[in-house]
Structure 1
Amino acid sequence: MTTVEATMTTPQNTNAPVVRRVWKTPIAYGVFTLVAFVVLLLFGHRGTTTFNFNAGSTGALGLPLLTLGVRTTSIVVVALAAAGCATAFVLVARGASVPVWLTSLFALDLLTGFLCWAASGHTLPLPTLLSGSLALSVPLIFGALGGVISERVGIVNVAIEGQLLGGAFAAAVIASVTGSVVAGMLAATVAGMLISFVLSVFAIKYVVDQVIVGVVLNVLVLGLTSFLYTAVLVNHTEALNTAPQLSVISVPLLSRIPVLGPVLFQQTAIVYVMYAAVALVTFGLFKTRWGLRLRAVGEHPQASDTVGIRVGPTRFWNVALAGGIAGLGGAYFTLAAVPSFTKDVTSGAGFIALAAVIFGRWHPVRATLAALLFGFSSNLQNVLGILGSPVPSDFLLMLPYVVTIFAVAGLVGRGRGPAAAGRPYTKS
């Protein structure tokens, strides 16, 4: 072969960038669009649905009722979903990614269609639906924030359920004894930290499998609180299990915003603490030296150790912080939701919070949104059940879990957790 021939047969543009097209999001769009077509059009109704945007006597500005025809709305919703699906396929085919705003609009479109279809023939009170959703999400958000911090520093926190339950028990007892909701909230925080101390000692010092320790702690706290409830609280209900309740605080002006005002700004103090916690944890993780060190230990503890970061103490105190945040979330059960402690009052909320951490890709804001999804789905089942909707309640209860399974499995997107999460570190 001559030099000219060799030159002619050499592949050209060997340094050209390779465009990697990820089709998971467009495929997910297509699946949900197909489901919407089947449910909304093939099994649709022909009545009307009325949306009420007012919150009764909450002081919000009055808005007119919105009445939509179910059939017409379903056709529009499916058409818009199909357009969004086509747009997603075109973007990926061109090598671009699907923007978050398009996914948000796609989800809002399908949600509108589903609500209109499910509440056919009834009036759907949106402020009541959203307010109840937020109430159910508060302990999940606290638990998810604790899970994010713990896993970002390298410790898998399966004990969120125990921290929530311990916080609920401590808040009920201390608030009943002292008559102070502030003391109850502080006690819940301390209880969550004590449980996390046990997790830290076994996971960091004695290098025990973190998942096993978390499961054992959940069982231990459940058994201990159940025993104390039966042996002590039942016989001394007035003195030890009648906690004062947090009062609702209305924020001037903001609480008068239509729809969202009563939902977000007519809440108890612990909800406002939750708002601050989400903002502070997000800012701290990504904008401060503390967050940089925390994430470095969770990603590469050996490299962190070589630059002078003490891996063990960093993990220990941040897991304690995570437990305190989760324990504070447990106080919501007994100081805001119900006036007393009962056996297993958390009902698996800690495991839902752990799922929200994974669903939210170990990011505080995304984990918060995932927790809100669980709360919304649970409350939607309650509201539609009261309205007498034909949608089976079991289907509504399983919906968020199905969505989470799809998300975690990689249909909507694949998230990578902290590289060193769950891996013990021994200084060499």
Structure 2
Amino acid sequence: MMTTELLIAFLASTAGAATPLVVASMGELVTERSGVLNLGLEGMMLMGAVVGFGVTLGTGSMVLGLLAAAAAGMLMSLVFGFLVLTLQTNQVATGLALTLFGLGASAFLGRGFVGQTVEPMPHLSFPVLSDLPFIGPLLFRFDAMVYASVALVLLIGWMLARTRLGLVIRAVGESPHSAHAIGFPVIGLRYGTVLFGGALAGLGGAYLSLALTPMWVEGMTAGRGWIALAQVVFATWKPRGVLIGAYLFGGVTVLQFHGQGMGLAIPSEFLSMLPYLATIVVLVIICRNPQTILLNKPMSLGQHFKPD
């Protein structure tokens, strides 16, 4: 039986589990809105996780660790952007290669960090609000990244819908040739969205090694980069859909741990696969209606553009 304390713990843990997915998915959403498909999120998150952990461990500054993680993600995305935007390589193949590179490079860089820990990201405390029964621990006792991820969704949603920059990004994603014809710098703008997506992927990875499990473990993203990619489709390229999808996945992820802790007579292997099974089921349901997918999908997603 779930008590009030268990319910609060479950909901609070869900927010933590969802945060790296929200951050990484929002970066990919902006990238895809400009017409670029980056399948290298898994590798970028791993590089962000290992670099963020290493810098934090060496300097004692979590801020520097987060900045370094964002820079690592941007560096990898810059390589991706040069290959697909300048050299016009295949976006799918290049993204997959980047993921494989991230898996190997992060394992190599993290060899000296195995078994070491850092102080976890501190939780914020709000006077009076944090002490409120039920509401306090549920809404006002998280670390800064949890609040920043929600603010990021609102900010990007507003930017894409209400600003000139958002309109240009969407225009480039729909028809880069038309956007180029009226004077928009398509390649430059796509470089910007790719770098932005890489920075957020690095931050999402750093959250894993600095907050959720404040240590470095090889392959610690455990497929979250792929889940983040799937969430963009699940959300039909809408920011609020990303937030909903991330919290659903986070809830299922946390449910497996609570289920094991409550002694449910279910094999642990089945509980561990629940988050990924839920993702597959949701995608299958969505894809039964092609019109839902096509509703907001950028028309030039994954297609090359070469200025005349």
TM-score when scaled to structure 2? 0.92
Structure 2 residues without counterparts, runs of 5 or longer: none
Once residues 141 and 225 of structure 1 are traced to their aligned partners in structure 2, the CA distance between those partners, rounded to angstroms, is 22
Once residues 168 and 258 of structure 2 are traced to their aligned partners in structure 1, the CA distance between those partners, rounded to angstroms, is 45
Deviation at 1:391, TM superposition (A): 4.8
Q: 1:224 to 1:406 in 2, by over 3 A?
A: same
Conserved 8 A contact 1:176-1:244: no
Match of 2:126 in 1: 251
Task: Spell out, residue by residue over 1:114-168, the C-alpha distance to the aligned partner (whole angstroms, 9 max, x if none).
Answer: xxxxxxxxxxx21111111111111111111011011001110111111111111
1:381 pairs with 246, 256, 262, which one? 256
Match of 1:169 in 2: 50
Give 1:210-221 correspondences, 5 Å limit.
210-221=91-102
Q: 1:227 to 1:288 in 2, by over 3 A?
A: same
Pick 1 or 2: higher relative contact order, CA cutoff 8 A, min separation 6.
2
Deviation at 1:412, TM superposition (A): 9.8
Deviation at 1:390, TM superposition (A): 3.8
Deviation at 1:388, TM superposition (A): 2.0
Conserved 8 A contact 2:38-2:91: yes
Conserved 8 A contact 1:171-1:188: yes
Residue aligned with 1:250, SS: coil
Deviates further, 387-396 or 374-383:
387-396
Once residues 176 and 122 of structure 2 are traced to their aligned partners in structure 1, the CA distance between those partners, rounded to angstroms, is 45
Conserved 8 A contact 2:47-2:105: no
1:415 corresponds to 2:293: yes
Conserved 8 A contact 1:359-1:407: no
| Letter paired with 2:300 | A
Match of 1:52 in 2: 3
Match of 1:342 in 2: 217
Deviation at 1:279, TM superposition (A): 1.5
Structure 1 residues without counterparts, runs of 5 or longer: 1-49, 56-124
Deviation at 1:245, TM superposition (A): 2.3
Give 1:11-410 correspondences, 5 Å limit.
50-53=1-4, 55=5, 125-230=6-111, 232-234=112-114, 241-256=116-131, 258-391=133-266, 393=268, 394=270, 396-410=274-288
Higher fraction of helix: 2
Residue aligned with 2:88, SS: coil
Identical aligned residues as a percent: 34
Deviation at 1:402, TM superposition (A): 3.6
| Letter paired with 2:118 | A
Deviation at 1:385, TM superposition (A): 1.9
| Letter paired with 1:213 | T
Task: Spell out, residue by residue over 1:237-276, the C-alpha distance to the aligned partner (whole angstroms, 9 max, x if none).
Answer: 7xxx543321111233443455454233211122222122
Once residues 168 and 242 of structure 2 are traced to their aligned partners in structure 1, the CA distance between those partners, rounded to angstroms, is 21
Deviation at 1:308, TM superposition (A): 1.1
Residue aligned with 1:341, SS: coil
Once residues 224 and 365 of structure 1 are traced to their aligned partners in structure 2, the CA distance between those partners, rounded to angstroms, is 33
Task: Spell out, residue by residue over 1:178-233, the C-alpha distance to the aligned partner (whole angstroms, 9 max, x if none).
Answer: 11010001111111111111111111011111111111001001101112223x43
Once residues 189 and 295 of structure 1 are traced to their aligned partners in structure 2, the CA distance between those partners, rounded to angstroms, is 24
| Letter paired with 1:354 | L
| Letter paired with 2:110 | Y
